[in-house]
Amino acid sequence: MKILISSSGPTLDAAFNPRFGRADFFITVDTAGGEWSAQENPGLKSGHGAGIQAAQIASQAGVEAVISGHFGPKAHDTLEAAQIRMFEAHGGSVADVVEQFKSGALHEV
């Protein structure tokens, strides 16, 4: 399954960032094969609607689920419209969060 995680850095050992629209990077991971890629968050420069923009990135990346710390109402609505599932994590590295997701430990919004 392809998932997107909000991150503080561009690698799997970077710290998970609980802010969705205002995260520094987004890391897309394929949980089956382990392939991953990182992209900078253009929403850091947005005045408004950073969460919406982040949800659009997730939709265009074709992920089935996103993992962050909190989803604002507009990000939530956008992800719901895009039929992307939302999971909440608390901390650790991006790799830790991926493992938590795979083990079913994360809470689904």
Residues in contact with other proteins by the rule CB under 8 A = 43, 46-50, 52-53, 55-56, 59-60, 62, 74, 77-78, 81-83
Q: Which is nearer to other proteins, 15 or 82 (CB)?
A: 82
- Residue 43 is given by DSSP the state G
- Smallest separation, CB 3 to other proteins (Å): 15
DSSP readout, 17-42? -SBSTT-SEEEEEETTT--EEEEE-G
- Smallest separation, CB 52 to other proteins (Å): 5
Q: Return the axis-axis angle of helices 73-81 and 50-60, rounded to nearest 10°.
A: 20
| Nearest alpha-carbon partner for 75 in 90, 56, 88, 91 | 56
Q: Which is nearer to other proteins, 9 or 49 (CB)?
A: 49
Q: Which is nearer to other proteins, 12 or 72 (CB)?
A: 72
